[in-house]
Structure formats: C-alpha cells, structure tokens
Amino acid sequence: MTVTKSNIVAKTGNEAMAEAMRQINPDVVAAYPITPATEVVQIFASFIADGLVDTEFVPVESEHSAMSACIGASAAGGRAMTGTSSQGLALMAEMLYIAAGLRLPIVMADVNRTLSGPLNIHCDHSDTMMVKDSGWIQIFSENAQEAYDNMLQAVRIAETARLPVIVTTDGFIISHGMERIEILDDDEVKKFVGVYTPKHYLLDFDNLITLGALDLPDYYFEHKRQEIEAMINSKSIIADIGKEFQTKFGRGYELFETYRLDDAEAAIVAMGSTAGTIKVVVDDLRSKGKKVGLLKPRVYRPFPKEEIADALKDVKIIAVMDRSDSMNAQEGPVCLEVKAAIYDASTSLSIDPEHGRRVDKAKFRPILNYIYGLGGREIRLDDIEFIYNELFDALKGTDKERVNYLGVRE
C-alpha cells in the first residue's frame, strides 16, 4: 500500500462530495438548486469564487438545462459534473438517456430524496430507482467517507467505461449529517484522477465527428447494443478502480460489501445508510449467538448478479430491504434484482432431445421483501432486529408475507 498524506476532518456528506469535486477540478459544472442537494454545488461555487478551482460554473434555469449543459460540455471534450435530487433528477430524466446513449462520462452527485407526490423533501430511493435503466452507472454510499471516495472513483470509472455515473447519498441522513472523514492530499487525488483525454469530441477539428444525429432502424439497435455491452463491461472496470484506490489510499471498494456473512443463516440485503444501522444489530445479535449477516450492494447498475448470488449461496433465508416501491404489486426494485440473480444461479437450462427444452430447478430459499423508510420514515435498531426475528421464524415454518411494509400505521 502506498503511504499518502491525508487530513482527518469533520464534514457533512454534502461537504464531502463538494470537496471531492474541488480536488477533481472539472472543466464545467452546471446545476440548479434543489433540497437537500443544493449545498453540494453551492459549496463548490464558493470554491470557484475563492479561486480554488478554475471550473466554468453554469447556473441554469432548470435541472433539464443543467444536464443539457453538461452534455454539451462533455461532448466538446471537457470534464462535466452536476448535482441534484428527487424532482430535479426527474426533470433531467429525458437528458439522462441522451447522455448515456452518446457515451458521455458525466458524473452526478445525487442526494436521494423521495419523489412527489405527496410533496416530501426527505430520503428514500425512488428518485434513482426511477432512472435505474437510463444507462447510468449507479453507486450507493453508506456514509460521508464513502460518498467522498466514490466521487473520486466515479470520474475514473466514467472516463474508462465511457458511461455517465451517479453517486448517491441518503438525503439529510448523510447529506446533512456531520461525520469524521479522511480527505486525501490534493496532489495525490490529482494523480489518481489523471488528465482527461477523450477519444472523440466535437472540438477535435482534425477528426470531425457527428454526435446526436437521428438514428433510424438500420443502426439504432446496434448502437444500443454497444451501450449495453459497455454497461456489462463496466463491472470489471469498477472493481479494478476500487482495487487501485485501495492500493493507493488504503480503503478498499468492491461491487458490494459483506458483513459477518460467511457462516450466516439469515441475511439482509440493503443499500445506503441503513447498512450502517444493520451492522450494529448484526453485532448485537451475534453476541447473543444468532448467525446473522449483511450484504450491502454498493453498485446497483450494473447489477453484479453472479457475484451477489455466489455470496448468498450458503444463506438459508434472505430479507431484501427496499427504500422504494415498484408500484406493480411485486417486490421492490432491489428485491426483484436479488431474486432474479438467485434464480439464475439456481437453475440450469438443458436440452432434452426427446422432450425438448426444460429447466431443471434447484432448491430455492425463501426471500422476503421489506419496503421501508419511504418519505424519510425513520428506521430503528429494533426494526432491523424485528426483520431478523421474522427470518428465523420463517425458517421454523411460520408463514410470512412475501412483501412487507415496515413501520406503516395500517
């Protein structure tokens, strides 16, 4: 491991993300304010005013325009970043698909906040889940330290994969919560991030390209397939950059984190700040002899289905906690991904010459879904313990609902 200079400071999640942006020093930041993400670009704007960066800051009239400006800047060959939340991300949605389809490595700080309506400014994951299939890599952060580290890695990931990246934090819980974090030395960050040298860009007048032209049925499918392949290939890129980050700075990042999962009988799968709460409960229940564990997906897009299925292969029963709902009478979005991953890992497709194709099914384990925390509803330690107790009851044969709405007054 390389020894690097760093500073231990107290910062909120918003401050940590803005600090990462300062060290990255992008060419263009375009943004429009929205609670609880406003501080990220507001603090960054103060860095510009103080001469700490030479970024061109573009204050726009809407989030749609913010992403449009980032698309233009990135297409011209510059590093472009922005920040938003909730309805702002919704207003950007049209342009998110364009940014990904044009393979532009834009980086966004999204502070997770529920989508209206009813109007609510607090945390859940409905905003990023709304755009989960837009072609953007999605990285979730458990705390302010991860938010800072993920932002630094996101630039490298985006520019290597040639895909845009969203880095998330939970609104108010992380964004406005003060934590002890380690800020790396400016020069070390500069070396890690490197100089951006785009392969193709509009202002390269010696190698002219067309960008954003009408793509008719003759070629659209092939171009979309290239984008899909880039998302698939980005999984190894994310993992490699996480390992490099660990080698240089001592903090390791993989596609997901496991906590006391090796011999666990019951496990919870959960993303974001709630994972920190779960770890406390896991330690407490372990001290009482209960074999419980946690799997925390860090990367939601691309979804690391094979790796997650393998990590959960020896667990007897699983609960997936979703901080959003899919609104289709099925499980929440994370649970659907986990169940599909485990199903794929548990089946083999064989061809029977006599009877045709068949699916040979292995034994499936129970997977319960818990929708929680919508609109910022607090998640407590005893809520987590309740879920683990539910899992052990189910193992004993007690019937449980497949989908549960945790903490709702019904």
Q: Indicate whether 242 and 260 sit together in one domain.
A: no
Structure confidence at residue 340 (pLDDT): 95
Structure confidence at residue 342 (pLDDT): 95
Sorting pLDDT into bands at 50, 70 and 90, what band is 38? Answer: very high
Q: What percent of the chain has pLDDT over 90?
A: 92
Do 377 and 344 contact (CB within 8 A), yes or no?
no
Element (H, E) at 129: helix 126-130
Cα gap 301→228, rounded to integer Å: 11
Least confident of 30-44, 335-349, 360-374: 360-374
Which of 227, 249, 271 lies at the terminal end of a domain, its last residue?
Answer: 249
Q: Indicate whether 238 and 269 sit together in one domain.
A: no
Q: Indicate whether 243 and 285 sit together in one domain.
A: no
Do 111 and 171 contact (CB within 8 A), yes or no?
yes
Q: Indicate whether 175 and 157 sit together in one domain.
A: yes
Structure confidence at residue 350 (pLDDT): 58
Q: Would you state the torsion angle of the CA atoms of residues 238, 141, 117, 324, taken in this order, to the nearest 10 degrees?
A: 80
Q: Say which CATH number the domain at 105 has.
A: 3.40.50.970
Sorting pLDDT into bands at 50, 70 and 90, what band is 196? Answer: very high
Q: Indicate whether 14 and 151 sit together in one domain.
A: yes
Domain hosting residue 63, numbered range: 6-249
Q: Indicate whether 117 and 262 sit together in one domain.
A: no
What would the mean pLDDT of 122-147 be, rounded to a whole number? Answer: 98
Q: Indicate whether 145 and 275 sit together in one domain.
A: no
pLDDT, averaged across the chain: 95
Number of separate domains in the chain? 2
Which of 207, 227, 249 lies at the terminal end of a domain, its last residue?
Answer: 249
State which amino acid sits at residue 261.
Answer: L
Place of tokens 């997770």: 112
Sorting pLDDT into bands at 50, 70 and 90, what band is 356? Answer: low
Distance from CA of residue 293 to its chain's centroid?
21
φ and ψ at 203, to 5 degrees? -90, 10
Is residue 410 one of the residues assigned to a domain? no
Mind listing the pLDDT tens digit for each residue in 223-281? 999 999 999 999 999 999 999 999 999 999 999 999 999 999 999 999 999 999 999 99
- Longest CA–CA separation in the chain, Å: 76
Q: Indicate whether 139 and 273 sit together in one domain.
A: no
Q: Indicate whether 245 and 260 sit together in one domain.
A: no
Structure confidence at residue 346 (pLDDT): 85
Task: List the end-to-end C-alpha distance of the chain, in Å, as a whole number.
Answer: 53
Which of 217, 249, 281 lies at the terminal end of a domain, its last residue?
Answer: 249
Structure confidence at residue 410 (pLDDT): 78
Do 325 and 332 contact (CB within 8 A), yes or no?
yes
Structure confidence at residue 349 (pLDDT): 58
Q: Indicate whether 222 and 345 sit together in one domain.
A: no
Q: Indicate whether 236 and 349 sit together in one domain.
A: no
1 has pLDDT over 60: no
Q: Say which CATH number the domain at 317 has.
A: 3.40.50.920
Of residues 355 and 7, more confidence is placed in 7
Cα gap 271→274, rounded to integer Å: 7
Give the residues across from 268 on adjacent strands: 294, 319
State which amino acid sits at residue 305.
Answer: K
